[in-house]
Amino acid sequence: MSLTALEIRHMETLLALAECGSLSKAASRLFLTQSALSHQLKALEIHFGASLIEKNVRPLRFTAIGQRLLTLARTVLPQMAEAGRDVARLAQGHAGPLRIAVQCHNCFDWLMPAMDAYRTLWPEVELDIISGFLMNPLPLLDQGEAELAIIHDRQEPPPSIVFSPLFRYESVALMSPRHRLAAKPWLEAADFGAETLITYPVPDEMLDVMKHCLTPAKINPKRRTAELTVAILQLVASGRGIAALPSWTVGNYLERGYVVSRPIGQHGLRCELYAATTRAGAEAAYIREFIALTRIQSLTEFAGVSAL
Amino acid sequence: MSLTALEIRHMETLLALAECGSLSKAASRLFLTQSALSHQLKALEIHFGASLIEKNVRPLRFTAIGQRLLTLARTVLPQMAEAGRDVARLAQGHAGPLRIAVQCHNCFDWLMPAMDAYRTLWPEVELDIISGFLMNPLPLLDQGEAELAIIHDRQEPPPSIVFSPLFRYESVALMSPRHRLAAKPWLEAADFGAETLITYPVPDEMLDVMKHCLTPAKINPKRRTAELTVAILQLVASGRGIAALPSWTVGNYLERGYVVSRPIGQHGLRCELYAATTRAGAEAAYIREFIALTRIQSLTEFAGVSAL
DNA sequence: TTAATGACATGAGCCTAATTCATCACAGGT
DNA sequence: ACCTGTGATGAATTAGGCTCATGTCATTAA
C-alpha cells in the first residue's frame, strides 16, 4: 500500500493511457498487448483498493486516485529521463553528430518539429539532414556517413543494421471537391489511369502510391511534379490533377474545404516508417532517444498516425 | 540506455548504499542479500557502460554518475512516497487512530522522534501511546484497543497477528569509569552477582539483562530502581551500582566520560524489536508507513542499531 | 607464510510475476 | 442480427530478480 508496488512501468502506462484514451491504443504505443495493461491496472486497483480509471466511457476518464498517480508520473518520468541523459553524457564522452538520411519529402513534416524538440534536450549533438534522396540509404550507415536513416516499409535489415519502428500512417488521395472522383467513397488503382498525378520530383519507388498501388497494377498516369507540399496542394485545389499524400500533412487544407481526401483502396493505403541505425548507434543513448522522441511526438501530434 | 532500465528498486538500493556505505549492510536494510545488490549494480553498470560506485574503498564512494542517480533517487522517491500517501488517503476513507502499546521504557527514546516525523506526514492520524507496560500486549490488538504493539525478541506470532521486524540493538553494561568491573573487556553473568543493578521499576521479564542473561544464569543481584533514564545514569555515574541499557540511549554520557560501557557476554547482548499488528492493520498504508519510518529512522539515527 | 576474517563477484537454479495467447463478454453502430 | 472495437479473464509461457553456494581478493593476526 505504500511506496513500492507502483513501478515505473505503471507510470508509463498511465501516461500512455492519458494520451491514447483506451487500453488497446496505449498498449500498442508501449509495445505491449491490451491484455498486459488490463492485468496491470487490475493489479494496481487491487493494491490500492480503488479503481484508477473509468473504462465504460470513451475516451476513458481518470478517477481522483488515477489523476494523482498521473501527475506523479508527469513529474517523475521527466526527472528520470533527464537523469538518464545526464548519465549518458557522463558515461559516453560527449555524444557525436547525428546525421539523418531521409528518403522522402514528407518526412520533413514530422522530422522538423522532432528535431526542434530534440535540440533542447541534447544541445551538444550536431543535427544534420542528408537529403540526397537516395534509393537505399543503408550503405551510408555502414560507411559512417550517417547515423540514422529513415526507411519505408518493413524489410529484412542487413546484419550490421538495426531497425526500430517509428509509426504507421495512411496515404490518401487528394482532389478538388468538384472533381468527378470525389463522388466515390474510395479510389482504386484504375481510377488513377485517366488522371494527372501530382507528385514530388522523385523516382516512382519513393512514392507510396506508385510503389504500393499503381506500379503493381501496371497503371502509369500522366505526371506533374512540384517540390513543395503547398504547391502540390495548390495544383490539386485548382483541379489540375490528383495527388496522394500522408493524411496528416494536409489537415489544414481539408478543414478549409479546398481539397477532399479519399482512401486509396477499400481499406486505405497504409505505410510504415522505420529508423535504421548501426548496431553501435542503437546502443548510444543520444540516438535511441532521438528515435523514441520522434516516435512519440509524431504519434501524439498527428491524427491518422498509429503505432506499430 | 534511456529511461527504462533504472527501476525504483535501483533507486532504493542507491539510497541504502549511500547511508550504509557497504553492499552487505545496505542489503540487510533492504531485506535482500548482498548478492542481489551486487547483481543489481552490475546490471546497471553494464547498462550505463560505466561504474556507479568505487567498491575498493570503505565506506564506498559514488562516482559522478552514481551521484547523479543518487540525487535522482533523493528527489523521486519522496515524491512517490507522497503520492502513495495521497492515494491511500483517497482510497481508504481517512485513516483511523494509531494507538501504540509499548512494553519497555527504552522504546520512548526512539519512538518519540519517529512519532514526531510521522505526524508531519499523516497529520490526521491520532497518535497515542498505551503504556500500561503489560507483559503481553498482543491481546490489545485483537480486542481493538491498540493498532500497534512493540514486541521484544522473535516469537511465533498468533494467527491473527503479523510481526514486522524493526531493528536489532545491543544492551551494554554501564558503570562508573572507576568501577572495578571497568577493568574487564566484557562482563559475564557472574560479574553481576555482587553488584547493585539499577533498572526501571518493571518486572524482570521486561528487562533485557535479566531475561536473557541473569535469570537463565540464576543470578539475582541487589536492585535499585529509577523511572527515568537520566536518573539511572546519575546513579551509575556516582558509583551506586551498574545498569544495562541499549547502547544508543547513552551516547552523550559515554562521550563525556561520566560512565563507561562494556559488552554483556563475550559477543554482547543483542535484542530484537518487532512491530505487531492485526492482519487488517498490516494492510493499512498509514500503519505500514509508521513501521517503515520508525525502522529507517532508528537505523539511521542511532549507532549500534542494525537491521534484521 | 599461513590462517582467518570481511567484503564483493559470479554462475546456477529457483521461483515469482509480467506478458502473451486464446478466449469471452459487452457496447455501439449499421 | 451482425460486425467492430474494447476490455476482461484464465492458463501457459517466459523473463528476470533473488538466493544459494561458492570463488576471489584484500586486510589483519598469529
Q: State pLDDT tens for residues A94-131.
A: 678 899 998 877 788 889 999 999 999 998 899 998 87
pLDDT at B207: 87
Residue B255 has pLDDT above 80, yes or no: no
> B3–A65: do the CB atoms touch at under 8 Å?
no
The reported pTM is: 0.82
CATH class (in words) of the domain with range A98-167+271-301: alpha beta
pLDDT band at A80 (very low <50, low <70, confident <90, very high): very high
pLDDT at A1: 38
pLDDT at A2: 45
> On chain D, which bases lie within 7 A of the protein's CB atoms?
5-11, 17-21, 26
pLDDT band at B1 (very low <50, low <70, confident <90, very high): very low
Dihedral sign, CA of A278, A282, A287, A288?
positive
Query: What pLDDT digit, counting tens, does each position of B73-132 carry?
Result: 999 999 999 999 999 888 877 678 899 998 877 788 889 999 999 999 998 899 988 877
> A84–B288: do the CB atoms touch at under 8 Å?
no
DSSP string, B151-167: EES--PPPTTEEEEEEE
Residue window 57-86, chain B: list those with CB within 8 Å of chain A.
64-65, 68-69, 71-72, 75-77, 79-81, 83-84, 86
pLDDT band at B2 (very low <50, low <70, confident <90, very high): very low
From the CA of A5 to the C1' of C21: give the distance in Å: 26
User: Do the beta carbons of residue A306 and residue A165 sit within 8 Å?
Assistant: no
> B3–A80: do the CB atoms touch at under 8 Å?
yes
List the Cα angle B134/B140/B146 in 5-degree steps.
105
- Give the CATH superfamily of B98-163+273-301: Periplasmic binding protein-like II (3.40.190.10)
Query: What pLDDT digit, counting tens, does each position of B134-165 carry?
Result: 778 888 888 888 999 998 887 887 888 889 99
Least confident of A36-40, B67-71, B280-284: B280-284
Mean pLDDT of B171-180: 89
Smallest Cα–C1' distance to nucleotide C23: which residue has it?
Answer: A35
Mean pLDDT of B209-220: 89
Residue B5 has pLDDT above 60, yes or no: yes
| Closest among B112, B115, B104, B100 to B153, alpha carbons compared | B104
**3 state DSSP class of B306:** strand
pLDDT at A82: 94
Query: What pLDDT digit, counting tens, does each position of A28-76 carry?
Result: 999 999 999 999 999 999 999 899 999 888 889 999 999 999 999 999 9
| B83 vs A65: CA distance, rounded Å | 9
- Domain B98-163+273-301 and domain B169-270 have a common topology: yes
Residue B226 has pLDDT above 70, yes or no: yes
Show me where the domains of chain A are located. Answer: 8-91, 98-167+271-301, 169-267
- Give me the phi and psi of A106, to 5 degrees please: -55, -35
Length of chain B: 308
| A170 vs A181: CA distance, rounded Å | 19
Q: What is the mean pLDDT of chain B?
A: 88
CATH code of the region B169-270: 3.40.190.10
Q: Any idea what DSSP says for residue B211?
A: I
**3 state DSSP class of B68:** helix
What is the grid cell recorded at A54?
473509468
CATH topology for the A169-267 domain: D-Maltodextrin-Binding Protein; domain 2 (3.40.190)
CATH class (in words) of the domain with range B8-91: mainly alpha
Question: Which residues in chain B are contacts of A66 at CB distance < 8 A?
Answer: none
B59 cis-preceded (ω within 30 degrees of 0): yes
A82: nearest CA partner in chain B: B3
